[in-house]
């Protein structure tokens, strides 16, 4: 099965209570690709970079089965750059710099070779761009998953609502779910959001885990209690990559299999936060991933008899 | 198996975004008794009340197998009174009034008939009082569970540390675990706290569930995602009552059975928050409890094969 991953490939400068980086590779599609490529090949990447994006990173991704035909390289502009500083609790951060650079020109055209992809992961982007990608696909993918953020709710809500009508699974964090629905209770928020288009809703709660809603069903996956969260950047995108990677690998879009996808995504995210940027994701192999998944099984497993 | 429950029996006045009460029955030992009496009898209550505590409440508790020989009635003083107002998120609250009243005289003496109890639940109280109860027991109970709060860490830390040495299981919330240990990571906090005495640590995270630590093992139980949390007062005590009630019923103090106890406690707490005070706890029966436990099973159940 093949998977299209749409999103940014960029540079980040990150400051956490544990350290600081000047300029490292980041971007939603980068994290999605590193996570998903453990499960499915090819990943059909759709993004835009400037002249400064490292060839070594492109080569590393290619080696992992990521096709870059859909990655536009702009010769006279810089790549998207984001800089942020995390607070001590690691759940909140301040954005220091946002240089859109090439992102201002991002108007992706799907290569012909991407047309038969069965799975589409739309990383956090302008909802109009997300919609344009969906509309370019001649055959609707088996599953369309979309990430978004509060920023688009503030400046492009009508466009966001249009795109929501076209997707199967929406991923947001808890405060975004509240903002999008106007409901404080996540149960009520989920009901409202599932009337906007997505039949499935994943609410990410960071260190408090994730919820999956569908019809009247709900599934909860914890986050692994970690001694150190070194850098949370990209954890949400890595979660998305693990989720859609597992779904694309199995080709199974049932609720039961999405539960597994969420555990896989959580396991991948728990590795991501151990080092700066996607560094840790490049080190791990299948045995590491299985080990982490087993930790999740142990973490929530209980056996109760109702007598 | 018999269970001693030590704590307050009191009046509360509560204001939430959903409503307001003038003066309703509350207190940690009240909630523990209502929750635990679904699983084990007798509950051997240890508390203190004033002349104003309603006889009807005493009768109701007796009917449920709660023995009141250890509840001192002070004829010329009022019962402990607490008043608080919850913020919109229901996770934070302001204390408006604390009238200690009879609590100033609380120096519990264990009735002779309580001496053979196998389980001891110490609700949130002055740690010196908690210690005095433990020291009065001629035979050490099979399991001693202790609740406490940030207030005692601020004004009686040395006494709290003394009491901690004598208990098996400590229950605190996440911010209290951080305060007690000086560690932000709950994993690190748990390691430090388990060196203070308790071999088991339960960290309550409210709407984000609960963690159980023991040696190098950890178990996570979610909270049920609810449409409405009407009144969180007593949820922690109800959780404690369900937990120790299940343990006392089964007589099994293994880690595996504590996991089940946490699910039972979480189910009881999820009922508690549906109405003001212990009102909802008085309405539910075994079928309701089983139904809620089954919801927890469904919420976290997944089946993953590592291939």
Per domain, the residue ranges of chain A are 3-300
pLDDT in tens, B148-182: 999 999 999 999 999 999 999 999 999 999 999 99
Q: pLDDT band at residue B302, thresholds of 50, 70 and 90?
A: confident
**Closest approach of chain A CAs to the CA of B218, in angstroms?**
6
Tokens read off for A180: 């999008």
Size of interface A-B (CB pairs under 8 A): 86
* Packed helices A235-250 and A28-36: angle between N→C axes, nearest 10 degrees: 40
Residue among B282, B266, B246 at smallest CA distance from B34: B282
pTM score, whole prediction: 0.90
CA-CA distances (angstroms) from residue A27 to A31, A126, A277? 7, 14, 9
| CA count, 13 A, side-chain hemisphere, A89 | 10
Helices (H), chain A: 28-36, 55-63, 127-136, 150-155, 157-164, 174-181, 186-194, 235-250, 255-272, 279-283, 286-300
Say yes or no for a CB contact (<8 Å) between A225 and B211. yes
Tokens read off for A166: 């076209």
B227 chain-A contacts, CB cut-off 8 A: 185, 187-188
**Closest approach of chain B CAs to the CA of A92, in angstroms?**
15
> Could you give the ipTM of this predicted complex?
0.84
Say yes or no for a CB contact (<8 Å) between A226 and B304. no
CA gap B20, B15 in Å, rounded: 4
* Packed helices B286-300 and B255-272: angle between N→C axes, nearest 10 degrees: 110
Partner residue opposite B302 with nearest CB, options A187, A188, A259 = A259
Q: A87 in contact with B at a CB cutoff of 8 Å? A: no
Q: Give the CATH number of domain A3-300.
A: 3.40.1190.20
Q: Which residue of B has its CA nearest to A188?
A: B227
Residue B90 in this model has a pLDDT that exceeds 90: no
pLDDT in tens, B129-141: 999 999 999 999 9
| CA count, 13 A, side-chain hemisphere, B138 | 7
**CB environment A183-202: b (16+ within 10 A), e (fewer):** bebbebbbbebbebbbebbb
Say yes or no for a CB contact (<8 Å) between A185 and B260. no
> Contact A224/A270 with Cβ under 8 angstroms?
yes
Partner residue opposite B188 with nearest CB, options A184, A186, A227 = A227
Residue B69 in this model has a pLDDT that exceeds 80: yes
Interface of B with A in 250-279 (CB under 8 A): 256, 259-260, 263-264
**CB environment B189-203: b (16+ within 10 A), e (fewer):** bbbebbebbbebbbb
Residue B307 in this model has a pLDDT that exceeds 80: no
pLDDT in tens, B175-220: 999 999 999 999 999 999 999 999 999 999 988 999 999 999 999 9
Q: Average pLDDT of chain A?
A: 95
The dihedral built from the CA positions of residue B31, B214, B300 and A164, taken in this order, carries a sign that is: positive
Say yes or no for a CB contact (<8 Å) between A294 and B306. yes
Say yes or no for a CB contact (<8 Å) between B228 and A260. no
- DSSP 8-state assignment for residue B45: E
> Contact B35/B268 with Cβ under 8 angstroms?
yes
Tokens read off for A152: 């688009």
A295 chain-B contacts, CB cut-off 8 A: none
């Amino acid at each position: 099965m093949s998977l299209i991953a749409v999103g940014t490939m960029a540079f980040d400068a990150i400051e956490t209570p544990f350290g600081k980086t000047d300029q490292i590779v980041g971007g939603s599609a980068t994290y999605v690709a590193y996570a998903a490529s453990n499960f499915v090949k090819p990943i059909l990447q759709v993004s835009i970079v400037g002249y400064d994006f490292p060839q070594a990173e492109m080569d590393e991704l290619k080696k992992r089965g990521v096709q870059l035909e859909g990655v536009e390289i702009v010769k006279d502009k810089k790549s998207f750059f984001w800089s942020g500083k995390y607070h001590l609790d690691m759940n909140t951060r301040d954005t220091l710099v946002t240089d859109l650079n090439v992102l201002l020109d991002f108007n992706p055209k799907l290569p012909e070779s991407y047309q038969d992809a069965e799975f589409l992961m739309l990383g956090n982007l302008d909802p109009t761009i997300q919609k344009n990608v969906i509309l370019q696909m001649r055959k609707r993918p088996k599953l369309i998953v979309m990430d978004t953020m509060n920023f688009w709710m503030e400046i492009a809500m009508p466009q966001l609502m249009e795109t929501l009508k076209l997707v199967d699974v929406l991923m947001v964090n808890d405060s975004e779910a509240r903002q999008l629905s106007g409901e404080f209770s996540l149960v009520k928020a989920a009901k409202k959001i599932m009337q906007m288009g997505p039949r499935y809703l994943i609410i990410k709660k960071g260190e408090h885990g994730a919820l999956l809603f569908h019809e009247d069903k709900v599934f909860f996956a914890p986050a692994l209690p970690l001694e150190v969260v070194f850098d949370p950047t990209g954890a949400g995108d890595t979660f998305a990559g693990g989720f859609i990677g597992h779904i694309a690998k199995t080709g199974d879009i049932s609720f039961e299999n999405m539960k597994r996808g969420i555990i896989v995504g959580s396991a991948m995210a728990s590795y991501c936060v151990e080092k700066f940027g996607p560094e840790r994701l490049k080190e791990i192999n299948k045995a590491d991933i299985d080990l982490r998944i087993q930790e999740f099984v142990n973490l929530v497993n209980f056996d109760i008899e109702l007598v």
